[in-house]
Amino acid sequence: MDLHLAGHRALVTASTGGIGAAIARSLAAEGVRVLVQGRSAEAAGRLAAEIGGEALPGDLTSPGAAEDVGRRAAERGVDVLVHNLGPFAEHTWDDATAADWRASYDGNVVSLVRLLQPLLPSLSARGWGRVVTIGSRAATTPLPTMVEYSAAKAAVVNLTSSLAQHLAGTGVTANVVSPGVIATPGLREMFADDPSREASYAPNPAGRLGTPEDVAAAVTFVCSPVADYVNGTELRVDGGISPLA
């Protein structure tokens, strides 16, 4: 299927590895000029060179950085934003501190708001655009070992739904893609000492862990003009576990 994305420009945050890098590669394969964003200028430059994109490094959680990246993206004619940044940590109610809660909310939610503020006027003025946020299965089935992350991702889903309503009639859509358990390099490291643990992370009808490419395929579709009528929704990429939860 031709997704009609050639010639568009996209900013993919936290795209120097894992799910973000897979999204950047998938969009580039459809002819999108991708701005690769991440904390490491070296890693961003390396992937940008690989896919024919542009590096836009920076720490979106530091003061003023998200607004600066949003302004530079608007100046470059970006009409697709994929906000993949979503730091997480494993904490329970017993050990999560106020600083842990704040860091999770700042990384997952506040960074997105700050990024959008300078970028939304440009998207609306163009009369076409896409905002895709990356949620998590944890938003609807909160994990007791990731309490602040689960709450922050629920806020991302709520924010995106509100944004879709706000943008109604502008030609800009906003949707969430929520992965289940995805076999990122970081997760693979968790299984390095005990590969048998993997089975406990994939209790879904698909019978396997998801891959970054599974998530990237869903994101690329939602970003495309083919998905014009998809708006304000949450697309779960979790192997079918959600209906069973």
Domains and CATH numbers, the chain: 9-237 (3.40.50.720)
Cα 96 from Cα 99, distance rounded (Å): 8
Provide the angle, in degrees to the nearest 10, between the axes of the packed helices 18-29 and 212-223: 50
* Encoded tokens for 195: 């590969």
Residue 201 is a catalytic residue: no
- Tens-digit pLDDT string for the chain (245 aa): 789 999 999 999 999 999 999 999 999 999 999 999 999 999 999 999 999 999 999 999 998 999 999 999 999 999 999 999 998 888 999 999 999 999 999 999 999 999 999 999 999 999 999 999 999 988 988 888 889 999 999 999 999 999 999 999 999 999 999 998 887 766 656 565 666 655 555 566 777 788 999 999 999 999 999 999 999 999 999 888 766 55
Which is nearest to 114 in space by CA: 126, 106, 104? Answer: 106
Q: Residue 161: helix, strand or coil by DSSP?
A: helix
Decide: 225 and 3 in contact? Cβ < 8 Å: yes
Q: Which pTM does this prediction carry?
A: 0.92
Which of 105, 149, 201, 229 is the catalytic position? 149
The alpha helices in the chain, defined as continuous H runs, are: 18-29, 41-51, 65-75, 98-105, 111-126, 147-166, 185-191, 212-223
